[in-house]
Structure 1
Amino acid sequence: MNQLLSQAIAQWQLMHSIELIATVLALAYVVLALRQSLWCWPAALLSTILFTHVMWQSALLSDALLQLYYAAMALYGWWRWRQLQQCSAAERGPVYEWRWQRHAVLIGLTALAGLALGAFMAGYTQADFAYIDAQTTMFSVMATWLVARKLVSNWLYWVVIDAVSIYVYAQKHLYFLTGLFMLYTIIAIVGYFIWRSHYQQQPAVSLST
């Protein structure tokens, strides 16, 4: 009995230690992204590797798949931001924006994809919060791509995604993640205004394609 208890405590400590390290790296990614630093992407890559393990162990299967996508996007984001920097006289490179009609289409398509993923997860897996988790997963997929494309409004999507994620992670007793997403929500609001200011002050650029 004592051995089982000791193993359970050791496993809990290991899980939360991994979660803490991944949380610090994820927070570093967001802060660096807000500053448009290229080094946000290596921090994101290391964080996603650790979070994949945490999400899988917590039966948040959609989130586990999302972390693998984040890892791929970290590599793409590094390449894309370097490309933008090399093509611009400004050190950070330009930021872009879309017309509202394009956002409306993107939101509709992403929501439908989230419903489809939620139905699959609810019907064929043991995933918790299948529909909510699937929607945050699909919108996170979309919003991460918008970050890599340096679209100003990516931060508005993250405000909503992060707020919903706070509820899910609190219910799963992932306390570091809950705290992290509270910070994310605040940072996303600040990030939107900083990037929007940059967009308004930079020389005129064409809308992102």
Structure 2
Amino acid sequence: MNELISQAIAQWQLMHSIELVATLLALAYVILALQQSLWCWPAALLSTVLFTHVMWQSALLSDALLQLYYAGMALYGWWRWQQLKQGSAGSRGPVYEWPWQRHCWLIMATAVAGLALGAVMANYTHAEFAYLDAQTTVFSVMATWLVARKLVSNWLYWVVIDAVSIYVYAQKHLYFLTGLFMLYTVIAIAGYFIWRSHYQQQPAVRLSV
């Protein structure tokens, strides 16, 4: 019995240690992204590797799949931001924005994808918060792509995604993640205004595609 308790404590400590390191790297990613630093992407890559393990062990399967996507986007984001920086006279490259109509279509398409993923997770896996987790997953997929494209309004999507994620992670007792997403929400609000200011001050650029 004592051996089983010791093993359980050791596993708990390991899980939360991994969660803590991943959390610090994820926080570094967001802060560096806010500053439009290329180094946000290596921090994101390392964080996703660790979070994949945490999400799988917590039965948040949609989130586990999301982390694998984040790893690929970290590589794409590094390449994309380098291209934007090289093609611009500025040190950070331009930021972009879309008209609201395009955002409406994107939101509707993403929500439908979330319902489909939620149905799969609810009926064929042991996932918890299947529909809610699926919606945050698909919207995170979309919003991460908008970050890589340097779209100003990506931060507004993250405000909503992060607020919903706070509830999910608190219910799963992932305390470092809960605290992280509280910080994320504040940073996302700041990020929107900082990037919007940059967008308004830069020379006119074409819409991001």
Matches within 5 A, 1:26-65: 26-65=26-65
TM-score by length of 2: 1.00
Q: Aligned AA for 1:8?
A: A
Q: Aligned AA for 2:61?
A: L
Q: CA RMSD for the aligned pairs? A: 0.3
Show the counterpart of 2:206: 206
Q: CA deviation at 1:80?
A: 0.1
Show the counterpart of 2:192: 192
Q: Aligned AA for 2:103?
A: H
Show the counterpart of 1:124: 124
Q: CA deviation at 1:116?
A: 0.1
Identity of aligned residues (%): 86
TM-score by length of 1: 1.00
Q: Which runs of 4+ in 1 moved over 3 A?
A: none
Q: Structure 2 stretches of 5 or more lacking a match?
A: none
Matches within 5 A, 1:14-25: 14-25=14-25
**1:22-68 deviation per Cα after TM superposition (whole angstroms, max 9, x unaligned):** 00000000000000000000000000000000000000000000000
Q: CA deviation at 1:108?
A: 0.2
Q: How many residues align?
A: 209
Matched residues in 2 for 1:10 and 1:124: separation?
31
Q: Structure 1 stretches of 5 or more lacking a match?
A: none
Show the counterpart of 1:98: 98
Q: CA deviation at 1:206?
A: 0.9
Q: Secondary structure at the match of 1:78?
A: helix
Show the counterpart of 1:11: 11
Q: CA deviation at 1:207?
A: 1.3
Q: Secondary structure at the match of 1:110?
A: helix
Q: CA deviation at 1:208?
A: 1.1
